[in-house]
Structure 1
Amino acid sequence: MKQPRTRSCGGSLRCCRATCTACTGTIRCACETQCSTTLDVVEVLLARENGFCFGVKKAVELTEAAAETGRPVHNLGQVVHNPKISQRLAARGVKIINDPADAAEGIVVIRAHGVPPKVREQIEQRGLECIDATCSLVLRAQRFTKQLADEGYTVILLGTPDHPEVVGLVAYAGDNYRIVETEEQWKKLPKMKRAGVVSQSTQPPWAFTALVAHVATIAQEMKVYNTVCPVTVKRQVAASELAQQVKTIIVVGGKNSANTRELVNLARMQGRDAYHIEDAKELQPSWVRGQERVGLIGGCSTPMDTLIEVKERIEALGSTEPVPA
C-alpha cells in the first residue's frame, strides 16, 4: 500500500482552498489556518547498490585535483559518461577535447575508459602533462588483451564496437581480433585454432559466459580472462533484485553510459517498465502516478545527489498534492 503521510499544510492544500480560498491567517476557516490531512505518497525503493564506482570516483578526483593547479586542464573525451559530472568539471574550467592536438598547453586527463597507446604517445610528444584516470580494471583488461595477442591468440572481445573502452582495448589486440556484441554475431564466428576471450567491463556476465561456451565449440585451444567489472555485476544484481519488488524502475545515468543502459535492459528483460533519465526534470508524472512503489537505481557514474533529487521528485509526482512545475 502507499504510505500515508500526515502533515500541516499551512493553507497550501485543496482542503483549505475549498473552504476559504486561501488559508492565509486573515480569514478564519474550518481548519484554523493549519490543517492536517493524509496524503497518498508513492514509496521509492532505492537499490542496495548506488553511487560512484571506485573507477569513476578516482577519475573525478584526479580531474578536480588537476583543476586546483590553476593550469589549463583538458579531459580527453568525457572523463566519465555522466552529463552532471561534465557540467561540474566545466564549471571549474575543465574543457573536453577529442584530440590531443586540441590542447595547446597544460594538463590532459585520460578518461576512465582508457585510450589506445598511440594517444598517450601523442600527448607526450606535444609536451603536455598526462594524468591517467583509466580505471584499474580497464588497465587490467588492456594488459590481458595485449598478452593474448602476443601469444598468438585471436582475440574475441565482447563489447560495443564504438565504445571508448572497446576502441582502447582493440588497440592492444594487434590485427587478429573480432568484436562481438550479440549472440547472433558470435555464432557467425569461424572455427579457429587459438582463441582468447575478454570483455568490455560493463557487459553482463551472463553474456560473457554464453560467449565463452560458444567459443569452446569452435576453437581448438582457448584462453579466457574474465574482465567483466565486479562492481558492474553487483549493480546488475541489485537491479534484478529491485525488479522483483516493483513494477516500474527509474534508471538514472548518462544516455551514453553503457552500464546504465544495461540496467535498463535488465529491468525490461524481467518484464518491468524501465525509464532511463539523466535528471529529475525528465520524469513524467504518468510513470509514477497510481504506483504503490517505484524502484530507483543509478549507473556507476551517477552522483548520489542526483539520485536524491530524482527520489524527491518521484515522491512529489506520486502524491495527491499539487506539484510545482
Structure 2
Amino acid sequence: MQSLSVTIDMNSGFCFGVVYAIQMAEDILEEKGYLYCLGDIVHNDVEVERLQQKGLQIIDHRQLRELKNEAVLIRAHGEPPETYQIALENKLTLIDASCPVVLKLQNRIKTSFDKDANIFIYGKHGHAEVMGLLGQTNNKATVFENTDELFRHQLPSKITLYSQTTKSTDNFYNIKSLLEEKGVEVEANDTICRQVSNRDKELRKFALNFDKIIFVSGTKSSNGKVLYQVCKSTNHNTYFVSKVEELKPEWFQKNDKVGICGATSTPMWLMEEVRDALLMMQI
C-alpha cells in the first residue's frame, strides 16, 4: 500500500506559447534531425536537454551573427528588430515561434514609440522578452523591476506604462495608482497574459488542499520563482525541485496528501516523473 496520496495540478505546466514553440521545434527535428534555437527554448534545463538529444542546438546572439544559410527558431519570448535584420543579412530562415501575446505587446510598444511617448516597462532587466520589447524603442524605454526603482527615476508628467506579459496584474495596477497619486498622468496598457497571471490565484487554491506541495521548475525561470513564492506563502510545507533526484524522503510523513505543481515553463512529463517517484518512495 502506498503511504502518499499524490495529485498533479492539471492547470500547471506549459503555457500555450511554449507548447507552440516546442511543437514547432519537434516537428522540424523529426524532419531534419537538427535545428538551431536562439536562446533556451524554455527556461527548464531538463526540457532543453531532452530536445538537445533530438538535435536542438542552442545558440546565442554572437553565434547568430556568424551563422549563415541556416534555419533558426525564435522562441516564445520574441526578439528585437535587430535579430530580424541579422537574419536578412546572413540569409537565415527564421522559424518564428514568438508568442502572439508578446507580438501584440511589441507592436503596441512600437506604435507608442513612434508617437514619441515616454515609455516605461515593468519587467525584469535582461529577460529575453524584455530585451525584445526594448528593441522596439531602440533601447530608449525605461525598464523597472519594482516601485523603488521606478521612483528613483526623474518621472515626466505623462508616461505610457507597459508590462512584461508574465507580471502580476495586481502589481501592474498598483504601480499605475501610485504614479497617479504622485500626479503623473498614466496611459496604462494592460497586455499581461491572463493564462499566466491567473496562475497565482489558481495555485493558492490548489496549495491549500494538501499537506505538502512539490513545486517543479527550472532554476532559470522567473515565472517559476514567483509562483513558488505564491505556493510557499499559502502552504509553508512547499518544496522546490528542478528534477526528480532532488526529492527527499524526510520531507514527508506517512499518509501525507501531496500536491505537485509547476511554472509555465515546466513540462507535464517532468511533473509526472516526480509523481511516480513519490509513489515509489519509502517513507
User: How high is the TM-score relative to the length of structure 2?
Assistant: 0.91
1:97 aligns with 2:59: yes
Q: Percent of aligned pairs with the same residue?
A: 27
1:129 aligns with 2:93: yes
Question: Is residue 72–residue 105 contact of structure 1 (8 Å, CA) maintained in 2?
Answer: no
- Change in Cα spacing, 1:57 to 1:308, as seen in structure 2 (3 Å) is same
Amino acid at match of 2:167: Q
1:286 aligns with 2:254: no
- Change in Cα spacing, 1:189 to 1:291, as seen in structure 2 (3 Å) is farther
Question: Is residue 44–residue 314 contact of structure 1 (8 Å, CA) maintained in 2?
Answer: yes
Among 165, 168, 178, the residue aligned to 1:201: 165
Alignment partners' CA distance in 1, 2:115 and 2:255:
56
Aligned equivalent of 1:31: none
Aligned equivalent of 1:155: 119
- Change in Cα spacing, 1:176 to 1:252, as seen in structure 2 (3 Å) is same
1:167 aligns with 2:131: yes
1:53 aligns with 2:15: yes
Residues 13-57 of structure 1 show CA distances to partners (whole Å, capped at 9, x for unaligned) of: xxxxxxxxxxxxxxxxxxxxxxxxxx5x22223324123211011
Alignment partners' CA distance in 2, 1:198 and 1:310:
37
CA RMSD of aligned residues (A): 2.1
Unaligned stretches of 5+ residues in structure 1: 6-38, 321-325
Question: Is residue 80–residue 301 contact of structure 1 (8 Å, CA) maintained in 2?
Answer: yes
Shift of 1:214: 1.6
Amino acid at match of 2:109: T
2:32 aligned counterpart, secondary structure: coil
Alignment partners' CA distance in 2, 1:270 and 1:184:
26
Shift of 1:123: 1.4
Shift of 1:218: 3.8
Q: Which runs of 4+ in 1 moved over 6 A?
A: none
Alignment partners' CA distance in 2, 1:271 and 1:196:
37
Alignment partners' CA distance in 2, 1:181 and 1:131:
31
1:79 aligned counterpart, secondary structure: coil
The structure with higher relative contact order (CA 8 Å, sep 6+) is 2
Shift of 1:247: 4.7
Shift of 1:117: 0.6
Alignment partners' CA distance in 1, 2:274 and 2:35:
31
Among 54, 65, 76, the residue aligned to 2:27: 65
Residues 57-113 of structure 1 show CA distances to partners (whole Å, capped at 9, x for unaligned) of: 110111122223427520001111122321222122121100212434421111111
Question: Is residue 74–residue 103 contact of structure 1 (8 Å, CA) maintained in 2?
Answer: no
Question: Is residue 52–residue 300 contact of structure 1 (8 Å, CA) maintained in 2?
Answer: yes
1:260 aligns with 2:231: no
Amino acid at match of 1:45: T
1:299 aligns with 2:263: yes
Aligned equivalent of 1:216: 180
Shift of 1:220: 4.2
Alignment partners' CA distance in 1, 2:112 and 2:249:
51
Question: Is residue 212–residue 235 contact of structure 2 (8 Å, CA) maintained in 1?
Answer: no
Aligned equivalent of 1:315: 279
Shift of 1:122: 0.4
Unaligned stretches of 5+ residues in structure 2: none
Alignment partners' CA distance in 2, 1:128 and 1:180:
33
- Change in Cα spacing, 1:295 to 1:105, as seen in structure 2 (3 Å) is same
Amino acid at match of 1:73: L
Question: Is residue 251–residue 277 contact of structure 1 (8 Å, CA) maintained in 2?
Answer: yes
Size of the aligned set, in residue pairs, is 281
Greater percentage in helix = 2
